[in-house]
Amino acid sequence: MTARDSTSAQAGDRPRLAATPSDIEDLLRELAPQVLAALARRNSRFDAAEDAVQEALLTAAQQWPDDGIPGNPRGWLITVAQRRLTDQLRADVARQRRESAAAALLPPEAWLMPAPDVADTGPQEDDSLTLLFLCCHPALSPASQLALTLRAVGGLTTAQIAAAFLVPEATMAQRISRAKATIAAAGGRFEMPPVSDVPGRLAVVLHVLYLMFNEGYTASSGDDLLRPELAAEAIRITREVHRRLPDETEVAGLLALMLLTDARRPARSDAHGDLIPLAEQDRSRWNATAIEQGVEIISAALPHGRIGPYQLQAAIAAVHDEATKAEDTDWREIVELYRLLERIAPNPMVTLNHAVAVAMVDGPDAGLAMLDELETDERISRHHRLTAARGHMLEMAGDEAAARAAYRLAAQQTTSLPERRYLDARAARLASAEMASVRVRTPVDVPRSEI
């Protein structure tokens, strides 16, 4: 019996749901971390479980467009992945013996899998957080911890993670593969670390959640500007970390930053999914409740403990959100906050954002001078955000030809289709304005006989 037949047979008479490939892709992305957490929790084999889940996702991507989505898609994926995992274990006799010895120490019910038709009553809320801390195992380097967590918990592709790290995709693929092998060799188990180990892993956990949210708020590639399910998952997990560690001010700062940023999401794209920049957004559409929560959280955190980068970024986001109109934004306060942020957590993206704020206060030439310093930084020198910021400042300075060229180059550099459309539209608008100017000047500047 094939995987298709056996899984369908187990699913009984529950109807399958028709769905578009895009809907199936979104559902698989949402379920992947949950299925991986379920397998890792039951089998204590994270590396093998991750491979098995990827095979199950591939099988679903091939079958569901024709067969429809099962009534219990999570159970379907768990069943198929568990079958793949069992096959892997049987193929390795030595590992099978170790797994059998470990299984003998556990009660039989700990290894039972729910049928696909039965709702999984296991602890799903804690699974994601446990999986997150497992990926931040101390045997891994910080960079490997980040990459593996984005892959396992965030469901990001290797290309997306590579873009977030500003490294080639092949380099990231090798890093993730080595990370899984390292956790297996170190005997990592699917369980929350001891309380004494939590602080040592917390910085990486927060960084991972930060990158997860950023990818959800601005997808690094693809047809869609936003991946709201990923941003929502990052917020959910961060809330749980904040609930468990209420005195950690940087956890509070990160949660506030996410809430204050995500509050703008309803106004960030138009009906066609195209980007609307911050200065042009309809601020009445912003989520006032999220803004209120974010401001309350960061206001409570700032007076206590050491001020960290997430708290400062949340404070910057609060300044933006509390301005009822774009022209009311207190850019001078934002410049000071970025100056402090650069001092305690320097990185090229912070410098880029600082330069934009400086341009709003001291003029575009001051901002362009700061951007010039980033041209030699290999981490960002070819990034489309640097080129787009240069285009924006050149436009502010009145150099429309150079601004148009910068926008077009930035559009070529980005892998996000909505951002590409936005940058191409900016360039086209400047070209249209220049052509209109030429048409106005022609009757005056050119002799009639030469027209």
SS3 letters across 333-385: HHHHHHHHHHHHCCCHHHHHHHHHHHHHHHCHHHHHHHHHHHCCCCCCCCCHH
C-alpha to C-alpha distance for 403 and 427, rounded to whole angstroms: 8
Residue 69 three-state SS: strand
Q: Which residue has the higher pLDDT, 437 or 278?
A: 278
**pLDDT above 70 as % of the chain:** 81
The four Cα atoms 172, 309, 206, 381 give a dihedral, to 10 degrees, of: -10
| Rounded to 5°, angle at Cα 103 from 43 and 96 | 75
Mean pLDDT along residues 17-33? 80
Decide if 281 contacts 268 (C-beta within 8 A): yes
Q: What are the φ/ψ torsions at residue 305 (nearest 5 degrees)?
A: 75, -175
* Confidence (pTM): 0.68
- Compute how many other C-beta atoms are within 10 angstroms of the C-beta atom of residue 69: 20
Per-residue pLDDT, 84: 80
CA proximity to 52, closest of 40, 67, 63: 40
Express each pLDDT in 280-322 by its tens digit: 999 999 999 999 999 999 999 988 878 999 999 999 999 999 9
Per-residue pLDDT, 190: 66
Mean pLDDT along residues 86-109? 53
Per-residue pLDDT, 435: 62
Per-residue pLDDT, 89: 65
| Rounded to 5°, angle at Cα 165 from 415 and 81 | 85
What the block records as the tokens of 310 is: 């997430």
Express each pLDDT in 270-279 by its tens digit: 888 889 999 9
In one-letter notation, the amino acid at residue 125 is: E
Mean pLDDT along residues 390-411? 95
Tell me what the pLDDT averaged over the chain comes to: 81
Q: Distances in Å between the alpha carbon of 17 and those of 70, 74, 185?
A: 7, 14, 42
C-alpha to C-alpha distance for 325 and 381, rounded to whole angstroms: 32
In one-letter notation, the amino acid at residue 308 is: G
In one-letter notation, the amino acid at residue 113 is: M
The model's confidence at residue 434, banded by pLDDT at 50, 70 and 90, is: low
Mean pLDDT along residues 88-116? 51
CA proximity to 110, closest of 38, 10, 36: 38
In one-letter notation, the amino acid at residue 331 is: W
C-alpha to C-alpha distance for 291 and 263, rounded to whole angstroms: 6
Per-residue pLDDT, 126: 52
The model's confidence at residue 436, banded by pLDDT at 50, 70 and 90, is: low
C-alpha to C-alpha distance for 107 and 118, rounded to whole angstroms: 21
What the block records as the tokens of 266 is: 């309803």
Q: Which residue has the higher pLDDT, 9 or 154?
A: 154
